[in-house]
Amino acid sequence: MKELERVGLPTVHVCTIVPISQTVGANRIVPSVAIPHPLGDPTKPLEEEKAIRRRLLLKALEALQADIEEQTIFGN
């Protein structure tokens, strides 16, 4: 991720454990759902599952577009 950022390609780290992302130096961090299912929750009804995924995707796209100067967490 750092190499992509270095050449001008923004990246987003969607993660379940934010302190780990901070430790490894991710610039844009989007907290996700849970370790076994970071981008959804299979126990939810299908429409709710889709809404969770959509919300995370839109948050990640928002993070990609943001001009940042330091490590930033884009909350839920």
More confident residue, 58 or 6: 58
- At 20 the pLDDT is 94
Model confidence over 7-64: pLDDT tens digits? Answer: 989 999 999 999 999 999 999 999 999 999 999 899 999 999 999 999 999 999 999 9
**Distant-in-sequence contacts of 55-62, Cβ < 8 A, 24+ apart:** 56/14, 56/30, 56/32, 59/30, 60/12, 60/14, 60/30
DSSP β-ladder status, 28-31 and 72-73: parallel
CA-CA distance, 76 to 72, in Å (whole number)? Answer: 13
- What's the pLDDT band for 76 if we cut at 50, 70, 90? low
Boundaries of every domain in the chain: 2-73
| pTM reported for the whole predicted model | 0.88
Q: What is the pLDDT of residue 15?
A: 94
